[in-house]
Amino acid sequence: MPANIIQAFTPTGVLRATINLGNPILANRDGNGDPIGVSVD
């Protein structure tokens, strides 16, 4: 991947992502507190 594309997505050098737990159909937590669901996969 070209360096300028990597820089555009990771300006601090770290790629961060989040999981929206607001919709239990797409993402939820299992008994251990780990995220599960379609969005997680």
- In-domain check, residue 27: yes
Q: Which residue range forms the structural domain that includes residue 28?
A: 17-41
Q: Is-above-0.75 flag for pTM?
A: no
pLDDT at residue 41 in the model = 83
- In-domain check, residue 3: no
pLDDT at residue 14 in the model = 94
Nearest to 27 by CA among 2, 18, 4: 18
pLDDT at residue 10 in the model = 94
Domains contained in the chain, number = 1
- In-domain check, residue 11: no
- In-domain check, residue 34: yes
- In-domain check, residue 5: no
Residues 17-27: tens digit of each pLDDT: 899 999 999 99
- In-domain check, residue 9: no
Residues 2-39: tens digit of each pLDDT: 999 999 999 999 999 899 999 999 999 999 999 999 99
